[in-house]
Amino acid sequence: MTKKAKKRLIVIIVLLILVLLSAWGFTMRTVHYSVKSPKLRNGMRIVFISDLHNCFYGGTDQSGIIDEVHKADPDIVIFGGDVIDAWGRHKARPHPHEGTFC
């Protein structure tokens, strides 16, 4: 194998690894926990959504997340940290400094 072919092979392998790591890091993960408390007699189902980092799950309308929330049939939905990153910008999302966020 020539030096040029070896370099190409190394570049292809590195790019493949980067693509795989990228895809692995941006997949939605659903985790179920069961917590018992005497304060809740009838139970409560909570969906906690966190660390979206401007990513799309199921398209720009976030239909993947919406479908998972509907499947869970929660009593309440809570959004945690890192839903929007200041550096990310897309026409479907406002910039954090534009408008009001709660």
Query: Taking the domains of the chain in order of start, what are their residue ranges?
Result: 1-28, 31-102
Confirm whether pTM is higher than 0.75. Answer: no
What's the pLDDT at 36? 87
Q: Is the pLDDT of residue 91 over 70?
A: no
What's the pLDDT at 101? 43
Comparing 26 with 65, the larger pLDDT belongs to 65
What lies within 8 Å, CB to CB, of 83 at 6+ separation is 49, 50, 52, 53
pLDDT in tens, 2-59: 888 989 999 999 999 888 776 665 677 788 888 888 888 888 899 988 877 667 777 7
CA dist 51 and 83 (Å) reads 5
CA dist 63 and 74 (Å) reads 16
Q: Is the pLDDT of residue 100 over 60?
A: no
What's the pLDDT at 102? 42
